[in-house]
Amino acid sequence: MVYVIRREAMTGCMDMRSGWLLLFLLALLPERVTANLPPEFVEIPGTSPRKYYDMNGERYREDTPVGTMLYTLIAEDVDGDYITITVDTGRDFFRTRGVNGTHTDVELIKALDYETDTRHDVRWILDDGHSNSVPHDITIYVTDVNDNAPVFQDLPYSVDVSEATPMDTTIFTFSATDEDSGANGRIDFTIDGEDIDLFRLENDPAINGKASIVLNKSLDYEVKILHRILIRATDRGTDPRQLSANSTLTVSVLDVQDTPPFWIGEPYQVFIFDSTPVGKVVTIVTARDGDRFNPNEVMYATLNDSLADYYFNVTSITGEVIVSRELDDQIIGLNNLTVVAIEEDPYQELEAKSSYSIISIEVLKSAEEATPGPDYSDAVAATVALLLSAIVAIVLLGICIYHKHGDQLPEFRKKKKVSPTKKY
Ligand SMILES: [Ca+2]
Ligand SMILES: [Ca+2]
Ligand SMILES: [Ca+2]
Ligand SMILES: [Ca+2]
């Protein structure tokens, strides 16, 4: 403030007493002051506590578009001077445009962001052009809108789960954040997927943005080795709209030994003649461990539960079914041979590592010519020897007769057409 003081001096001749009196009276007279007063904001009528047209305490949505005229400041100057209001602190966000000597519009020149600043301190400078530059501090507030979707943390999501993991086990925990406040930042999760009945979602309502996947049922590597769970995170915001995000949890199932062998090529049916020799392979059976990721070797055996087991056997490694003893009339017809495949695994109970199959073996009676007869070789040899002996005897007899009855020999020789003389 500038004050100008004028005092009129008393002049003239006076005596000392009068002079002192005059000085006393002058001291009692009020000063006469001439001042140019500073501008100030106009009070808003009816407010208690008092408020002014200075924008203080106003609230603005963070999605207020840049370029919006936020407010009209109103100031007054008792001297009637033209008032200029400019921005000191806060000039990054706000700009003033004078309308007239008292009204000034405030324009937003940079987007507000509740997540960055929930309030802005602003200093206006009021100036009346007479060296009265008045600072005026206010605060405005930014209000939240739902402008941030939930964001999953620590992606990507994948987990390995043994198929032996019991149901109700928590297999994965995840989280998401939402930068908005209140309901705008409150996250709800849902899960979906082809095999979603195997899983369920669990979360603590007191902890926002965190949840777990729990097994509803045990997984089975032999049924499916990979599951994909779609996780959706949705906030509760409505202004201007609800927002959500998606993620996928990949569940890889790890195999354990929990499946017995299975047979390949069933049903097994064999037709053979009862002439089939011992040691002959009549068929081959094959089984594989049902646990496919790291399968056990499989051995074969027959079950001693039928007549067929008496005549047939199976090789333990190759699964070849062979005739183990000579077939006879007892085995003619339809027979069932039970074979068992057993995994080589000392840690499993027999029931868990073995499987059975039935081989249907029909033994047919051989045709006559196909039937190998008794061994006549010795009899034939004996017969031949006997015949030769007889021939020799006859020849010898003939020679004797020839020597004894030489005239009869030509007839005998002619009749038999045999000339012993030529031979011997
Ligand atoms: Ca949100
Ligand atoms: Ca927000
Ligand atoms: Ca197995
Ligand atoms: Ca398995």
Query: Which ligand has an atom closest to residue 256 CA?
Result: 4
Cα–Cα distance, 165 to 174 (Å, whole number) = 19
Query: Which ligand has an atom closest to residue 112 CA?
Result: 2
In 216-260, which ranges are E strands? 226-235, 244-254
In 6-148, which ranges are E strands? 33-34, 40-41, 59-61, 69-76, 84-87, 94-98, 103-108, 119-127, 133-143
Q: Are strands 268-273 and 354-364 parallel, antiparallel or unpaired?
A: parallel
pLDDT of residue 395: 56
Ligand 1 (ion): which residues have CB within 5 A? 146, 148, 178, 180, 184, 235, 237
Ligand 3 (ion): which residues have CB within 5 A? 257, 259, 289, 291
Cα–Cα distance, 393 to 395 (Å, whole number) = 5
List Cα–Cα distances, 342 to 267, 310, 337, in angstroms.
19, 21, 16
Cα–ligand 2 centroid distance for 112 (angstroms): 10
Query: Which residues in the chain land under pLDDT 50?
Result: 1-16, 20, 22-26, 28-32, 369-371, 373-384, 400, 402-424
pLDDT digits (tens, 9 = 90+) for 157-201: 999 999 999 999 999 999 999 999 999 999 999 999 999 999 999
Query: Which ligand has an atom closest to residue 352 CA?
Result: 3
Query: Which ligand has an atom closest to residue 164 CA?
Result: 4
Give all strands of the β-sheet with 226-235 in edge-to-edge order: 157-162, 244-254, 226-235, 187-192
Cα–ligand 4 centroid distance for 297 (angstroms): 14
300 DSSP β-pair partners: 341
pLDDT of residue 35: 82
Token readout for 349 is 């109970």
Cα–Cα distance, 387 to 132 (Å, whole number) = 162
Cα–ligand 1 centroid distance for 143 (angstroms): 13
Closest CA to 74 of 44, 111, 37: 44
pLDDT of residue 77: 94
Cα–Cα distance, 240 to 145 (Å, whole number) = 7
By the 8 A CB rule, do 262 and 296 touch? no
pLDDT of residue 39: 96
Please, what is the end-to-end C-alpha distance for the chain in angstroms?
Answer: 176
Backbone angles phi, psi at 357, to 5 degrees: -145, 160
Cα–ligand 1 centroid distance for 208 (angstroms): 12
Cα–Cα distance, 193 to 343 (Å, whole number) = 36
Ligand 2 (ion): which residues have CB within 5 A? 114, 144, 147, 180
Q: Which amino acid is at 355?
A: S
Q: Which amino acid is at 389?
A: S
Cα–Cα distance, 171 to 157 (Å, whole number) = 12
Cα–ligand 2 centroid distance for 186 (angstroms): 12
DSSP 52: B
By the 8 A CB rule, do 325 and 272 touch? no
Cα–ligand 3 centroid distance for 169 (angstroms): 24
